[in-house]
Structure 1
Amino acid sequence: MKKILVVLCFLLVLTACGDNGKAEESKGEGSLKDVSIVLDWTPNTNHTGIYVAKEKGYFADQGLNVEIIMPGEAGSNQLVAAGTADFGVSYQEGVTEARVQDVPIVSIAAVIQHNTSGFASPKSKGINSLKDFEGKTYGGFGAPVEKAILSSLMKKAGADFSKVDIINMGNTDFFTAVKRDVDFAWIYYGWTGVEAELRGVELNMLYLTDYSKKLDYYTPLLITNENMISNNPETVKKFMAAVSKGYNFAIDNPEKSAEILINAVPEIDAELVKASQKWLSPKYKADAEQWGVQKLEVWENYADWMYNNDLLDKKLNSKEAFTNEFLPNNEEDES
């Protein structure tokens, strides 16, 4: 699967990496080093640990001045690959696609341990199983992976994917779309599902992980580029020490961390943030030994699934796509 801008981004990496390395040089004793992280979307509870680390001074404690920037048309993967941003928020599918096309970005932490996404529909639509997708309209965002997931899961369930009508929702939100011309859509329950609860909209939710272990991938995750890892490993280590502390604070203090995000992003829906944070905080770490850790099995499972569904031109070298080496070794490393 070919992606627009990938080749351009790779060329940008060749010219930008050197500048990126220079930007990371110390600015003098007692000063903070400027680094940046680009989000994958508008601020939400997937990003809370980053805002906590900034607000509570965890980045400053590590000698870093971290700028949080919004993604442009290029997206976080492209900006990090080009060295325009030092770190970014991404997702396993995007990193996998980039890596097989030789774009040198690397995942350095899983924000959430398990995939919390799935296909949602108002209960009034009567969609209780994959078979019920037949004759219904799916509202998507135009990515090839959507059709691959729908077709593979429906085939496994003995359902006919050709009977699903697919339209692109564009910028239309889920709640408007399902009232207008869509029967079901792919959502992250931690945000849109929680919003449905607040609106009093009852949903039928078919989680991807209920149907395939291979679809239990990391989304979202944190990334950097190979140049940062090679030339500025101490900066990556300090960044991860601070951001790990931020997410651990959010795990232990959902209400306080929600307030930090609300104060940092005044235009955000405060009620939704508080409810979403309560739902999501336990899921950051879940059953892992520590926040952020990634498993080779998860990377291999999803990469194999993508390759077998013609979403990759070649197989992924999973061992090079991620690393746990910059995670704090223990709680003392975060203090």
Structure 2
Amino acid sequence: METIRIALDWTPNTIHAGFFLAWHKGWYREAGLEIAFISPETDNYQLTPARRLSQRKVDFAIAPSESVISYNTSRRPAAITAVASILQRDTSAIVCLSNSGITRPAMLDGKTYASYNARYEDEIVRAMILNDGGTGAFNPVAISRLGIWDMLKKGEADATWVFMPWEGVEAQHNGIALNAFRMEDFGIPYGYTPLLLAHLSAIPLREAAYRSFLRITARAYTEAAAAPEETAAFLSERVGHPDFARKDFIRDSMRELAPAILNEQGRWGEMQPKVWGRFIDWLVERKLAVPRQPIESWHLFTNKLLGEHSGN
């Protein structure tokens, strides 16, 4: 058996559905693969998924486009590349409690934003506020990443960034009304998120195992997209994390997530240069990403490991 180590981007949730589905159905084992999931709960996010990957502690890491761009354009670049996009469209949003009276991004001026302290994050939020007619003068507060959502729910922050199919659906189930502001609605060509990342130096050494892993994962996500309620019921019975014991929540989360899993051709994981290019150009235009050499988006991602197996 070959072991594949995956650093999750968050506590286990429905965005990881394909991995969990393939694992619990035994598909990885049938292919001679043993999967080890590393949750940020293990060290309360002391090491980010991308950092674990850059240090070669894992085979894959789940992270947003910003992580790939940041690591490849830093003073000490790390050879990290995206090998699949877990979702085909951005399902994230900046949210605030509806009872806060904040009904548009411009009203976040002077407000407290619970930040993950990620590179580019605060500037992206600032751009959203500016694009809505505000001044961009908000107050970012960085705390423990796993406590950010609770900070908003308790009213200790005015806004934060969440995935709507997870925290958004959770809010609905808890009777918490949210106002959500999506990037695309305010002129921000945000990139793929979340992504599955690999280390370039490891790909030639383990290419057969990585291709097999991605083939099985594509099959699982394709099944999850086609049958979200059945997938939710299956995972609720088998994933040992407390969140998955809430069957109605997992069902509604999968329903919300399913339309974002596959592209228009019904394929999972594939990335388009134009999506990368738009986001990179946007960052460079605002001097947020200033590379030591010209950025070429095709150096930051590859579809080659997906082969012909990213769909049915």
| TM-score normalised by structure 1 residue count | 0.82
Could you tell me which residue of structure 2 aligns to residue 220 of structure 1? 194
| Between 61-70 and 239-248, the greater mean CA deviation after superposition | 61-70
The code of the aligned residue for 1:283 comes to: A
Report the CA distance shift for 1:184/1:276 in structure 2 as closer, same or farther (over 3 A). Answer: same
**Partner SS state of residue 230, structure 1:** coil
Give the paired residue count: 300
What CA distance in whole angstroms lies between the structure 1 residues aligned with 2:136 and 2:225?
A: 39
Could you tell me which residue of structure 2 aligns to residue 23 of structure 1? none
Deviation at 1:41, TM superposition (A): 1.8
How does 1:253-332 map onto structure 2 within 5 Å?
253-262=227-236, 263-271=238-246, 272-314=249-291, 315-330=294-309
What CA distance in whole angstroms lies between the structure 1 residues aligned with 2:13 and 2:239?
A: 11
1:92 to 47, 65, 87: 65
How does 1:132-143 map onto structure 2 within 5 Å?
132-143=107-118
What CA distance in whole angstroms lies between the structure 2 residues aligned with 1:180 and 1:36?
A: 37
**Partner SS state of residue 268, structure 1:** helix
**Higher Cα radius of gyration:** 1
Higher helix share: 1
Could you tell me which residue of structure 1 aligns to residue 20 of structure 2? 51
The code of the aligned residue for 1:36 comes to: R
Matched, 1:209 2:178: no
Mind listing any 5+ residue stretches in structure 1 that lack a counterpart?
A: 1-31
The alignment-based identity, stated in percent, is 26
Could you tell me which residue of structure 1 aligns to residue 85 of structure 2? 110
Q: Are the equivalent residues in 1 in contact too, given 2:91–2:164 (CA < 8 A)?
A: yes
Could you tell me which residue of structure 2 aligns to residue 81 of structure 1? 54
Deviation at 1:175, TM superposition (A): 4.9
**Partner SS state of residue 48, structure 1:** helix
Could you tell me which residue of structure 1 aligns to residue 224 of structure 2? 250
RMSD over aligned Cα atoms? 2.2
Q: Are the equivalent residues in 2 in contact too, given 1:91–1:220 (CA < 8 A)?
A: yes
Q: Are the equivalent residues in 2 in contact too, given 1:119–1:207 (CA < 8 A)?
A: yes
Report the CA distance shift for 1:269/1:81 in structure 2 as closer, same or farther (over 3 A). Answer: same
What CA distance in whole angstroms lies between the structure 1 residues aligned with 2:181 and 2:68?
A: 25
Q: Are the equivalent residues in 1 in contact too, given 2:18–2:218 (CA < 8 A)?
A: yes
Report the CA distance shift for 1:94/1:288 in structure 2 as closer, same or farther (over 3 A). Answer: farther
1:105-151 deviations in Å (ceiling 9; x for gaps): 11111001111111111221222222222343322223342321122
| Between 165-174 and 300-309, the greater mean CA deviation after superposition | 165-174
Q: Are the equivalent residues in 1 in contact too, given 2:132–2:186 (CA < 8 A)?
A: no
Deviation at 1:317, TM superposition (A): 2.6
Could you tell me which residue of structure 2 aligns to residue 67 of structure 1? 36
Q: Are the equivalent residues in 2 in contact too, given 1:293–1:327 (CA < 8 A)?
A: yes
